[in-house]
Structure 1
Amino acid sequence: MVNKHEPHLDRTFAALADPTRRALLARLGAEETLSVSELARPFPMSLPAIMKHLDVLSDAGLIERQKTGRVVSCRLNAAPMEEAMDWLNHYQRFWTARLDRLAEFLEKAEPEPEDSCPPNRASPSGDD
């Protein structure tokens, strides 16, 4: 399952590491397509900075761009994220199995519960 070098997976995780890029992807997930200027509108940064983020997303295959006249529109491509999820799910199953075995081991190793305070056999009034 684990390959020594998976550049496409590296690019996906690198692209997803930045909060601005994740926000751009979230906006594209809510709309079918958005122009670059529509995507950039809510962010407090320059259009060239947004374009650099879009370049990273495009290089990772997470977005597709289409130019119609002077307008560049972007669309989400979730396939690389699905591959990343498959990779993460592999390790989730691995750690879940390990933790389940640890829980079984600890349950078998636990001593029988004992009363922490044995009952007091003395009379409550002290009239012995």
Structure 2
Amino acid sequence: MKNTIISVIATSILGISLIVGFSLASASSEKDELNSDKVTFFGSPTSAISSSVAVPQSYNRIMFSGTVSPLLNKDGKTTYERYGNTERQAIGILEKLKADLKTKGLSLADVTFLRVYVAPDPNKEGTPD
């Protein structure tokens, strides 16, 4: 019984030591990447969304705000006739953003943060009134 307890304790200590060692090695690697002179994306490489992004202080930043959907039909009687449904509005705004970035020598790949506010589409089932 005593040998079993000692074996369990030794195995636990070894396991914890390995976990801590891997964690410290990983943290050290990420810390080194934070001191990089390039934009660094963190998270799963298979995910479409990064868990975090490090942008070096020396990088210039550009911020967009208040971008609205392009007018599709100036004679439309409703918002949806003038600007399209939620999907069409989102596509229009992203196309505007992409074009504006291009004039600055950038692309959507350079975007590190995007916050979007949308309203529900009353023409879709299941949306609140």
The alignment's TM-score, normalised by the length of structure 1, stands at 0.27
Report which of the two structures shows the higher radius of gyration computed on alpha carbons: 1
Question: Which protein is richer in helix relative to its size?
Answer: 1
The alignment's TM-score, normalised by the length of structure 2, stands at 0.27
Question: Which protein is richer in strand relative to its size?
Answer: 1
